[in-house]
């Protein structure tokens, strides 16, 4: 029988993780977390998460990098900011969730079963290329990335209804000066290396 070790040894923790998250999320206050749980009790998505926002902050503080980056939690965060505006220690919890998503994608360890990482990456690709989002094409590309050909069929009726009411279009939206946009993205990317 295969067994899975749940205990994590101190030597497996990443002592640099807290510093990295602080820098990337511009949230120097993480150290000040008092584990009051206000964030988790304010979070409308907490019951679906594998770790609550309070647990994620504690795990970031103590270097549980692997578990945090593989967690579903940041991907289920709806960016409502309820936790952030209520945190008594002024921790930018929502911003931390964003930075964890970015890091999980960069490290290639995001949860593959969830559609939201695929959606985020396809939307980023399209906006970086065209300067605009085109909902239909983001969804099509997302399902292609997920190799899921059944879900689009199930949602076809809703898509047709949205098209009839002009809420979804076939046209690929693009801004005029895309060269300028590409130059801007390149400059920002190089500056953040």
Binding site for ligand SF4 (CB under 6 A): 33-39, 42-45, 53-54, 57, 77-83, 87-89, 91, 93-94, 97
Are 112 and 45 in contact by the 8 Å Cβ rule? The answer is: no
**Shortest distance, CB of residue 80 to ligand SF4, whole angstroms?**
4
Nearer to ligand SF4, 84 or 141 (CB): 84
Residues whose CB is less than 8 angstroms from the CB of residue 105 and which lie 6 or more positions away in sequence, other chains included: 117, 120, 121
d(CA 121, CA 102): 10
**Shortest distance, CB of residue 142 to ligand SF4, whole angstroms?**
21
**Shortest distance, CB of residue 91 to ligand SF4, whole angstroms?**
4
Nearer to ligand SF4, 82 or 99 (CB): 82
Q: Using CA of residue 140, residue 151, residue 43, residue 65, what is the dihedral sign?
A: negative
**Shortest distance, CB of residue 12 to ligand SF4, whole angstroms?**
24
Token pair 């939307």 in the structure block, residue: 123
DSSP summary character for residue 122: H
**Shortest distance, CB of residue 120 to ligand SF4, whole angstroms?**
14
DSSP summary character for residue 47: G
Nearer to ligand SF4, 20 or 81 (CB): 81
Nearer to ligand SF4, 91 or 123 (CB): 91
Nearer to ligand SF4, 46 or 142 (CB): 46
Q: Which two tokens stand for residue 44?
A: 């409308």
d(CA 158, CA 136): 12
Are 88 and 57 in contact by the 8 Å Cβ rule? The answer is: no
């Amino acid at each position: 029988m295969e067994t899975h070790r749940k205990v994590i040894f101190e030597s497996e923790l990443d002592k640099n993780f807290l510093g990295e998250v602080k820098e990337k999320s511009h949230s120097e206050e993480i150290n000040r977390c008092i584990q009051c749980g206000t964030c988790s009790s304010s979070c409308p998505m907490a019951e679906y998460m594998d770790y609550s926002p309070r647990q994620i902050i504690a795990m970031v503080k103590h270097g549980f990098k692997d578990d945090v980056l593989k967690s579903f939690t940041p991907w289920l965060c709806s960016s409502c900011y309820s936790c952030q505006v209520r945190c008594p220690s002024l921790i930018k919890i929502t911003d931390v969730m964003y930075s964890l998503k970015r890091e999980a994608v960069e490290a290639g360890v995001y949860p593959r079963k969830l559609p939201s990482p695929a959606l985020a990456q396809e939307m980023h690709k399209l906006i970086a290329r065209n300067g605009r989002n085109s909902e239909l094409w983001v969804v099509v590309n997302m399902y292609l990335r997920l190799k899921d050909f059944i879900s689009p069929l199930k949602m076809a009726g809703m898509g047709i209804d949205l098209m009839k009411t002009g809420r979804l279009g076939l046209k690929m939206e693009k801004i005029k000066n895309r060269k300028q946009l590409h130059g801007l993205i390149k400059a920002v990317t190089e500056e953040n290396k």
